[in-house]
Amino acid sequence: MTASFTLPNNSWRRLLIGAGGGLASVAMFYSAARGGVGFSMLLLPLVPLPLMIAGFGWGLLAAIAAAVTSTIALAFAVAPSFAAGYACSLALPVIGLTHLLMLARYNPDGTLVDWFPAGRILMAIALYGAALPVLMIALEGGSYALMAPEFTRFFNQLAAQAPIGSSWRTMDAAQIQSLVDLWVKLMPGVIASYWTIFFAINAYLAARIVRISGRFVRPWPNLHWLTFPPLFALAFLAAIGGVAIGGSLRELGIGAIGAFSVAFLLQGLSVIHAIAKQRAATWLISAVYAAIIVGGALAMPLITVLGLAETVTRLRSRIVPIPPALPLGSI
């Protein structure tokens, strides 16, 4: 007598939808890799979107199926090492994000108390973004110094092709080497901040799409009241301390500063939106985004500091009152 393994029809449906989402992600990546520069820049940041849609709409089982399917497909189509990097940077985080999105707290009698707060979901994204540069370089078994020859070639080509008389054209080997050294040091922060912002944007888009389809299981949170626990600010200070200490903590600290800065930037924008809405000052939102477009190098750090200050002092609730009935999972 043999035992047979069976799954409910609903589970098989979730597995198939998840597998389809995984293959869609691989197809998007392949299309971006084969397309032109502009097309690639548009499509590559959206590669995790099908994975998230599968997970957010059909649950953790679908997210796991999407992650496994896409990773295996890339291992055969490209290389196992590339698939490992994809799994660390996209597939596994989508599984974790889906779990947090579905996480809820219940009373002993089974009634719902609250959903996992949106602010803590964003914080979890930033924490993973901070660790990602270290995880990625560990897969290669080296350090970011291995990227120096590529940077040197790139900057030499840039200098050679720059217009005559420009500052780039007159750079000597020592100046280019100094620029290469700077970029090698900053790479963990660049990777962490880039990943955090685009992963957060994809999560927002996927949640919106799933909500439109009617499959979003939790209420839509009020993102104007996005909140981080105060310990997150301490983690930011610890990252700065890691950079000051140097050694192996430097790369982790730079990556954490990059990822956490993105989270605090979004927190600052949340504060501005809340104040503008409560005070009926829509001009404030327009002014802030115009300042970002015109002078982002100054405006974005100031908004990031606002987000950090909100985390420490709860400044927003001192300026405008908390709405009496926020949707569950907002704060």
pLDDT tens digit sequence for 150-193: 888 887 887 777 777 677 777 778 888 888 888 888 899 999 99
Instruction: Summarize the confidence of residues 17-42 as an average pLDDT.
Output: 86
Q: What is the mean pLDDT of residues 240-262?
A: 91
Pairing assessment for the beta strands 112-115 and 104-106 based on DSSP bridges: antiparallel
What is the rounded average pLDDT of the residues 96-125?
95
Q: Does residue 165 or residue 52 have the better pLDDT? A: 52
Query: Considering only CA atoms, which of 171, 128, 133 is closest in space to residue 263?
Result: 128
| Closest C-alpha among 98, 9, 22 to residue 59 | 98
Res. 8 pLDDT band, cuts 50 70 90? low
- pLDDT bucket at 82, cuts 50 / 70 / 90: confident
